[in-house]
Amino acid sequence: MSEKKRYTPRDKDNRKKSKPGYGRKSGQAKVKKEDSIPSAFIRINKYLADAGICSRREADRIIESGAVMINGKVVTQLGTKVGPTDKVQYGGETLKREKHQYILLNKPKGFITTSKDPENRRTVMNLVENACSERIYPVGRLDRNTVGLLLFTNDGEVAKKLTHPKHGVRKLYHVFLDKPLTKNDMLKIINGLELEDGKISPDKISYVESENDKKQVGIELHSGKNRIVRRIFEHLGYQVTKLDRVVFAGLTKKDLPRGKWRLLSETEINLLKRLS
């Protein structure tokens, strides 16, 4: 008896028709050409972002300006790949692609938000100096007398999202005033105030405890302007005696004592990265 022929499916033009998964192991996804590049090689803009310099978009502008060198040669072509043994320099400094770190600090009073201070005052970096070996930076600012949540990272992409106004990052402050806030002034604030650098309209404002204690107010806004909360109340003749940032980009102070820091969870990190 003759051997039975194997049937090969064909299309209407009599060409061999591939079956799903034919030619590769079952369940194995088709590999794109761009994915075949070894994972150790990454684009130069991502390298700059991973080194904590800036976001990828900003990195593109830096690269095009001729400020980046790879192995001693200026590189201006976007999309250039960097390998693990390549030497990347920016501003005369040799960069290092680091593991991304995300540190949340409950800042106490009396520390300024800067990496270095020429007057040798205490900075927030003193509080997180043992948090990780990577070089991290504070995202945004809290003035010296303001307490509460402050994030540190070396992820340039996330830092950019958290500081750019278009992303509308939510910030909630607990405000202590020198005198009760009147309902009339509260309405003025929520309707928007014209300050020296433009109009500011908070998202929400309310008394914290009850209407019997109108010196404590909760105010939510997404502006990143300098001293914005204090200036809002000073504009109406109030003095802020204490200011505490209790929520920042969905992060809270729960189980984080004043002056202490903690690493963000994977869930929290993913939420920050999904900011649009």
* pTM, rounded to two decimals: 0.71
pLDDT at 274: 86
pLDDT at 28: 42
Beta strands in 48-155 (DSSP E): 68-70, 73-74, 81-82, 88-90, 93-94, 102-107, 137-138, 146-153
pLDDT at 49: 82
- Asked about 143 being catalytic, the answer comes back as yes
pLDDT one-digit tens code per residue, 36-91: 334 578 899 988 888 878 778 888 999 999 999 999 999 999 989 998 889 999 98
For domain 36-94, which CATH number applies: 3.40.50.920, 3.10.290.10, 3.40.718.10, 3.10.20.30? Answer: 3.10.290.10
Q: What architecture does CATH give domain 170-248?
A: 2-Layer Sandwich (3.30)
User: What are the helix (H) ranges across the chain?
Assistant: 44-50, 56-64, 156-163, 183-191, 228-235, 266-273
- In three-state form (DSSP H/G/I as H, E/B as E, the rest C), the secondary structure along 169-181 is CCEEEEEEECCCC
CATH 3.30.70.580 spans which residues of the chain?
A: 102-165+253-273
Calculate ∠ Cα 140-145-146, nearest 5°: 50
Residue of 143, 178, 197, 213 with catalytic role: 143
DSSP SS3 for 23 = coil
- Residue 237 DSSP one-character state: T
Region 102-165+253-273: CATH code:
3.30.70.580
CATH 3.10.290.10 spans which residues of the chain?
A: 36-94
CATH 3.30.2350.10 spans which residues of the chain?
A: 170-248
Q: What is the pLDDT along the chain (276 residues), one digit of tens a residue?
A: 444 444 445 554 555 544 444 444 444 444 343 433 345 788 999 888 888 787 788 889 999 999 999 999 999 999 899 988 899 999 888 987 778 899 999 999 999 998 888 888 999 999 999 999 888 999 988 999 999 999 999 888 898 889 877 777 899 999 999 999 999 999 999 999 999 988 999 999 999 976 678 999 999 998 878 899 999 999 999 999 999 999 999 999 999 999 999 999 999 999 998 876
pLDDT at 55: 77
pLDDT at 15: 54
pLDDT at 168: 77
